[in-house]
Amino acid sequence: MRRASAKFPDRLNRDNEVVKQAAALFLLTISGVAAQTTTVSLSNGVEIVISTSLGHPTGEETISVQMLRASGDSFYRIFRDQNHLAVFAYELSFALSGDRLSATAHPAGEEFAKTFPGADGGKPVPTLASDQQIGPISSGKKASIGLFHLEGMGLSVVDSISMEINQHNEAGRMRLVGVKVFVNKIALSGTGAFAVSGRYTMLYIPGRGGFFFSTEAVPDKPFIAAGTIDRDRMTFSVDNETYEVVASAPILTNPDSGALWVVHDPAYQPDGNWTLTRDASKPQGPAASEFFVAASDSLDWWLER
């Protein structure tokens, strides 16, 4: 088979079409079709839709796209042929600022090679030449990155990325925006300006660890009824300290108040690129002394590691 080559420059377009297919492990078989899409919900409740366009495949080559979590909100994108050999791979990471998403496409490096030894039968897997920035992307818009082509196969592979900030109002769903945090009535510095929404929310406070919230008990998880939600305010007590989370909009809408269930993990350390740089040694986004909030429809990001 022919090797992947000829990276494309980054480019933006404004296609609003979003097709959603939720899964924990993404495997798309692509043969003789123009595009396929998959959706992932990040740890802050933002939904990312990635659409892969192949150009005009002749059908001689079958390509599958595999998307696997690398760390935090960073994922490997692996393109394999019909023999399950990798013809191309890269790492895709995300960062949210306000209501805009930025993505970075990284070359598949040493960590990828360690994680997927022999992905291309012992040969180095073709990848990007350098980091490429994608976006910023506002909700409902799309940005694209050209990846590779396979000569003679009609394959010109482009990944397009769009995002949707989940603002569903079903019962039990929490939304945190414009958050201020107080511990024993003392205000903390931190990042809560952007909106996060999900079935579960979390608060990370350096030196105090992670606090994970639900509006009800969760089977097989050590949640305790430790507080209440009243419109724009969450109040709870843990380890003889009183915490107050005040948002600029109602946290619940259906109904607007209720019980708050909490898990506190004082040893919790956030991973991935929401709080750390890729070398995991320097703060990124929020300062190391600041709190931050996140949301998700799954607890797997935080409580199953």
What is the tens place of the pLDDT at every residue in 210-227? 999 999 999 889 999 999
CA distance 67 to 83: 18
Q: What pTM was estimated for this model as a whole?
A: 0.53
Retrieve residue 97's tokens: 């600022």
User: What are 86-134's pLDDT values in tens digits?
Assistant: 999 999 988 876 667 888 999 998 999 999 998 888 889 999 999 999 8
Which is more confidently placed, 164 or 245?
A: 245
Which of 90, 93, 91 lies closest to 73 in space, CA to CA?
Answer: 93
Retrieve residue 251's tokens: 């946290």
pLDDT of residue 241: 95
Confidence band (pLDDT; 50, 70, 90) for 304? low
Please count the helices (runs of H) and the strands (runs of E) in the chain.
2, 23
Widest pairwise Cα distance in the chain: 68
Confidence band (pLDDT; 50, 70, 90) for 35? low
CA distance 243 to 182: 6
Which is more confidently placed, 8 or 243?
A: 243
Of the listed ranges 22-31, 167-176, 234-243, the one predicted with least confidence = 22-31
Of the listed ranges 150-154, 199-203, 274-278, 282-286, the one predicted with least confidence = 274-278
Of the listed ranges 122-136, 219-233, 290-304, the one predicted with least confidence = 290-304
Residue 110: in which H helix or E strand, if any? helix 110-115
